[in-house]
Amino acid sequence: PGKITAMSFLGFDGSQRPKQSIRLHSIPVETAAATEPNAAHESNETNERPAASETAPTRPALRVVKGVTPTATERRLRTVVEAALNFDLPACIAALRLQPDETDPTIWWSQIARPALNELADRQVLSTAGGSPFNVADTAIQRAITDFMARHDEEQSRTGRPSTRHPIRLKKLVLIVVDRGSNAAPAAHTLAAALVAGHASARVVTGAIDGARLVELIKLTKPAALALTRAAALADPNILLEVNKHYPDLPVFLDLPKGADPLPAAQAPGAQQLDTLSGLAQQILATLPNPKTT
């Protein structure tokens, strides 16, 4: 039999998921718990019925336990995952959209978006050319953040405060640097949205970046703080040394994957290293000048 190989990459706050996977079946989450341990599940493409031991995902978080009513968050999470697995982008967008009472995108990320991506990483998917549950989920996440930002601007306008594009916001600009070898954009944009919601400004830096280029970018944009993924710091071991050499007073924050060891002080001088997106956002906002006055 053929061997399935999955390649992995890290999210901005350390979540790991494969870039490509193979799905052998589609099981409605609501009915999975009712299936007998040795029962088989019908394939999407054929009537072949592989054994459950060959198809069961390793992460049980979305399985219903008899007699236990799932919470609204759990139901929403299941809806996101099933929509992505069914390549239903409108349904995935609807389920991921931040509601008016969801004012902190980092909570939404930790409770809905990242768990959905993690759950998809445990599924095996057979896709036609151009189809990918991860693309569906990533697109829906980006759409949710875009809609959140638009709603934030509308609220700013209604209350007479500067929009996210107002020049005064640039006094609190944060650059978020993502390693080009990973795909941390969803988490990085979530962090950016959280900073904007905290009345700062943020830009996500992607593509080829090294110490010299980052120093030039800092010179051009004059940010109030800098955040990097651990992968970005490791891609160029001198990148933080270069920043510290030219801008020793610039607050620098480093995202750490869960369980990862902090970089040594010699490689990341003065950098605050955190392993949660919410903690990262809070610490960054705390360093900015009067972060909630505009």
pLDDT by residue (tens digit) across 3-22?
Answer: 333 333 344 544 444 444 33
CA neighbours closer than 13 Å in the CB half-sphere of residue 208: 1
pLDDT band at 181 (very low <50, low <70, confident <90, very high): low
**Averaged pLDDT, 67-76:** 84
Q: What distance in Å separates the CA atoms of residue 269 and residue 252, rounded to the nearest whole number?
A: 9
pLDDT by residue (tens digit) across 75-100?
Answer: 999 999 999 999 999 999 999 999 99
pLDDT of residue 90: 97
Under 8 Å between Cβ of 292 and 197:
no
pLDDT of residue 65: 55
Give the angle subtended at the CA of 96 by the CAs of 93 and 100, to the nearest 5°. 110
Q: When comparing pLDDT for 35 and 132, which is higher?
A: 132
Rg (CA), the chain: 21
Question: Residue 272: phi, psi to the nearest 5?
Answer: -85, 125
* pLDDT over 60 at 164, yes or no: yes
List Cβ neighbours of 199 (8 Å cut-off, separation of 6 or more): 169, 172, 291, 292, 293, 294
Cβ-in-10-Å burial (0-12, 13-18, 19+) of 179 comes to buried
Alpha carbon distances (Å) from 145 to 1, 55, 149, 174, 252: 42, 33, 6, 17, 24
pLDDT of residue 63: 54
Q: Classify 253 as helix, strand or coil.
A: strand
